[in-house]
């Protein structure tokens, strides 16, 4: 039985939950505001897509580097510095009068998120002892991040009704409040950097991730041809191979390859990639269905998805009890089974479905998030040495982000390809196979972890 968390520990957790909530709500609000931004600034479709892709490139390209930087140069320092950068460039986005300013602002905001997110996660995993206390903190943290995305859809609709610039100014205010609370609450710790750093590894993995994410984003634009997409994939994979070769010989590797021998960690990251891909693909498709096919407003769409945020209640209350009783691996598998079911339930959608017909998918998806997101975070950081917690967090968030980009791009590609020969409803139905297959694949990966009991004992959680 663990002792209750102290007031200071709750304060630290509150600040870090604020940071991950900020990241989730920022992304969701922008997605809702895109049509208004296009109308006001007169952006082309390519530029509007570039604004979204710029954040993904910055986030996905620098996440692993951000995780290692937290380990080497100080988690508190990285969190505070990049939170400040996030604040400044969110403000720049709100002041933008052209597409290029907005594109730069979103790219740098994505880079800032790539550094501050693994820093925040690693502060939790190093501030709370492994076991019940850390697990409970991680579940609260993960639930807050997921709730930020769900609530951001509604908040984005409300703020866009006032003016799309508030979608950028609201994160500035929230960032300032989090920063003010973080300064006295986040404990100071000595940076662990010493000796030489792995500059070659940092350069090659950043180039690899930037090119691979760029190639994935281009999948949703088949009309532009496949030449640049294939070239980006080829060079990105070559850079990734070079990174592996460098890490094998480096005396101070950016990513110690031995960490990948942790099978639960690898399974968690693979499942996270597919789980994120499935949800973001579904969110993109249901937005098309509700707004373009059914004529719903952005606020109505956000409210329709609001029930998914039930995980913010269930994750810190129900999930710890389930993990204590059934173990992390079984809870993850159960959550992914719910996710697969949610998407399958939506496959027969028609052009006149009532919300009552959609509700089973929404509530089941909320349960899936409650059972999957937090436990995946636990599985991806359990058994990892303290000096590598930033890297573990960076790996997990890289896979979440890469999965999100991949899911949206594949769903878009299938939707666009089907539209050439079928109706809009048929195109959406066909593309809905992407999230269903991705979630089912994640479930298969999770089930492989149940074939043999884990070496480590199951954690005993106290709600």
Is 33 inside any structural domain?
Answer: yes
The total number of structural domains that make up the chain: 2
Residues 211 and 297 in one domain: no
Cα 14 to chain centroid, rounded = 19
Separation of alpha carbons 206 and 213, rounded Å:
11
380 in the same domain as 291:
yes
460 is a domain residue = no
Q: Are residues 314 and 412 in the same domain?
A: yes
Q: What is the DSSP letter of 236?
A: H
Residues 384, 277 within the same domain = yes
Q: What is the 3-state secondary structure (H, E, C) of 47-83?
A: HHHHHHHHHHHHHHHHHHHHHHHHHHHCHHHHHHHHH
> Is 319 part of any domain?
yes
Q: What is the separation of C-alpha 265 from the centre of its chain, rounded to a whole number of angstroms?
A: 17
Residue 111 has pLDDT above 60, yes or no: yes
Looking at the structure, tell me whether residues 262 and 406 fall in a common domain: yes
Q: Are residues 142 and 209 in the same domain?
A: no
Which CATH number do you get for residue 429? 1.20.1250.20
Percent of the chain surpassing pLDDT 90: 31
Under the banding of pLDDT at 50, 70 and 90, the label for residue 173 is: very high
In a domain, 462, yes or no: no
* 322 plus 342 within the same structural domain: yes
Question: Model confidence over 24-66: pLDDT tens digits?
Answer: 888 888 877 877 888 888 887 667 767 877 887 788 778 878 8
Question: What is the phi/psi pair of residue 414, to 5°?
Answer: -65, -40
Domain boundary among 186, 221, 253: 253
Rounded to the nearest integer, the mean pLDDT of the chain is: 84
What is the DSSP secondary-structure string of 160-184?
A: HHH-TTHHHHHHHHHHHHHHHHHHH
Answer positive or negative: Cα dihedral of 269, 271, 273, 279.
negative
Domain co-membership, 191 together with 205: no
My answer on whether 116 and 57 are in the same domain is: yes
pTM: 0.82
pLDDT tens across 127-162, in order? 887 777 888 888 888 888 877 877 887 888 888 888
Cα–Cα distances in angstroms (integers) from residue 91 to residues 86, 94, 153, in the given order: 9, 5, 20
Task: Identify whether residues 350 and 438 lie together within a single domain.
Answer: yes
> 29 with 151: CB under 8 angstroms?
no
67 and 187 belong to one structural domain? yes
273 in the same domain as 240: no
Identify the domain boundary among 209, 224, 253.
253
> What digits encode the pLDDT tens for the residues 410-450?
888 888 889 888 899 999 999 999 999 999 999 999 998 77
Is 1 a member of any domain? no
**Is 442 inside a domain boundary?**
yes
**What is the helix, strand, coil percentage profile of the chain, to 5?**
80, 0, 20
DSSP code of 422? S
| Contacts (Cβ under 8 Å, ≥6 apart) of 455 | none
Say if 459 falls within a structural domain: no
Which residues constitute the domain of residue 124?
7-197+254-448
Assess if residue 461 is contained within a domain: no
């Amino acid at each position: 039985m663990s002792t209750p968390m102290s007031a200071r520990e709750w304060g630290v957790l509150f600040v870090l939950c604020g940071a991950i909530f900020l990241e989730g709500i920022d992304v969701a609000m922008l997605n809702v505001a895109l049509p208004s931004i296009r109308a006001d600034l007169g952006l082309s479709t390519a530029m509007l897509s570039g604004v979204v892709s710029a954040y993904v490139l910055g986030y996905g390209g620098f996440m692993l580097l951000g995780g290692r930087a937290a380990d080497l140069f100080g988690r508190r320092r990285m969190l505070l510095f990049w939170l400040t950068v996030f604040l400044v460039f969110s403000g720049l986005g709100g002041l933008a009068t052209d597409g290029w300013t907005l594109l730069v602002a979103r790219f740098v905001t994505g880079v800032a998120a790539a550094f501050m997110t693994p820093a925040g996660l690693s502060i939790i995993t190093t501030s709370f002892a492994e076991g019940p206390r850390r697990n409970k903190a991680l579940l609260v943290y993960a639930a807050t991040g997921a709730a930020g995305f769900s609530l951001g859809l509604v908040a984005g609709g409300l703020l866009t009704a006032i003016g799309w610039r508030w979608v950028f100014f609201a994160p500035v205010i929230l960032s300032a409040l989090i920063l003010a609370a973080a300064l006295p609450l986040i404990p100071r710790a000595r940076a662990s950097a010493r000796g030489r750093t792995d500059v070659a590894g940092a350069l090659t993995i950043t180039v690899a991730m930037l090119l691979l994410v760029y190639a994935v984003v281009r999948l949703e634009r088949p009309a532009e041809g496949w030449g640049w997409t294939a070239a980006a994939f080829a060079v990105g994979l070559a850079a990734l191979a070079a990174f592996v070769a460098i890490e094998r010989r480096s005396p101070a590797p950016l990513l110690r390859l031995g960490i990948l021998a942790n099978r639960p960690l690898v399974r968690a990251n693979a499942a996270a990639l597919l789980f994120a891909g499935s949800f973001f693909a579904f969110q993109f498709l249901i937005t098309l269905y509700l707004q373009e096919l059914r004529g719903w407003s952005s606020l109505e769409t956000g409210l329709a998805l609001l029930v998914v945020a039930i995980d913010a209640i269930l994750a810190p209350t129900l999930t710890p009890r389930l993990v204590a009783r059934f173990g992390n691996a079984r809870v993850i598998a159960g959550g992914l089974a719910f996710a697969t079911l949610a998407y399958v339930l939506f496959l027969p959608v028609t052009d006149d479905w009532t919300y009552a017909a959609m509700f089973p998918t929404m509530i089941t998806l909320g349960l899936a998030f409650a059972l999957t997101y937090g436990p995946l975070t636990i599985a991806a950081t359990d058994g990892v040495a303290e000096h590598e917690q930033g890297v573990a967090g960076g790996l997990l968030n890289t896979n979440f982000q890469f999965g999100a980009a991949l899911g949206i791009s594949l769903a878009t590609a299938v939707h666009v390809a089907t539209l050439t020969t079928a109706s809009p409803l048929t195109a959406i139905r066909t593309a809905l196979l992407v999230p269903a297959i991705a979630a089912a694949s994640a479930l298969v990966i999770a089930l492989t972890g149940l074939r043999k009991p884990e070496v480590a004992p199951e954690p005993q959680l106290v709600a």
